[in-house]
Amino acid sequence: MRNNKICMVAYAEYFNDARIKGYVNSLLKEGYSVHIFCLFDKYSNFFSKNNLFIKFLGRKYQGKSKKLYLFSYLFFLLKAFFYLSIYNIKNRYPVIHVHNQPDFLVFSAIIPKLMGVK
C-alpha cells in the first residue's frame, strides 16, 4: 500500500496563496492527503477538512525593521524544522515540497531528508 501523504512547507498564508492552493487541489483530486505547515491566517493553530491538514506556525511580520523580518523568517524556520521532524516520524512522508522564499527554508526538512524523504 502506498503512502499517499504529501507534506508542504510555505512561508505564506495558505488561504491567500492561489499557487499553493492549486497544488493542493490537484493533489487532493488525485487522492492524496496533504499536510501543510504555513503562516497563520484567520484560524487557530490548525485547520483540517477532508484530506487537508494545515498547521499554522506563526504570523508574517509586516513592518520596516530588517531585524524583525529576519527574526520572523528564522522563527518560522525553527518551528517548521521541529514540526516536520516530529510529523515525519509519525507520517513517513514520501515527499516534502518546500515552497521557497526564503531559500533557506529548505533546511527545515533536513531531518526528513536524512531519513530518505524526497
CATH number of the domain within which 91 lies:
3.40.50
pLDDT truncated to tens, each residue of the chain (118 aa)?
A: 467 999 999 999 998 899 999 999 999 999 999 999 999 866 578 888 999 999 999 888 788 898 998 888 889 889 999 999 999 989 999 988 988 765 767 667 767 777 777 6
73, amino acid identity: Y
Q: Please give the Cα distance from 41 to 85 (Å, whole number).
A: 23
> For residue 103, what is its C-alpha cell?
531559500
pLDDT tens, position by position, 94-115: 988 988 765 767 667 767 777 7
Alpha-carbon separation of residue 87 from 13, 17, 37, 51, 115 (angstroms): 20, 23, 10, 16, 13
Tell the residue number behind the cell numbers 492527503, with chain if given.
33
Residue 1: its pLDDT value, please? 47
Q: What are phi and psi of 93, to 5 degrees?
A: -60, 135
Count of the separate structural domains present in the chain: 1
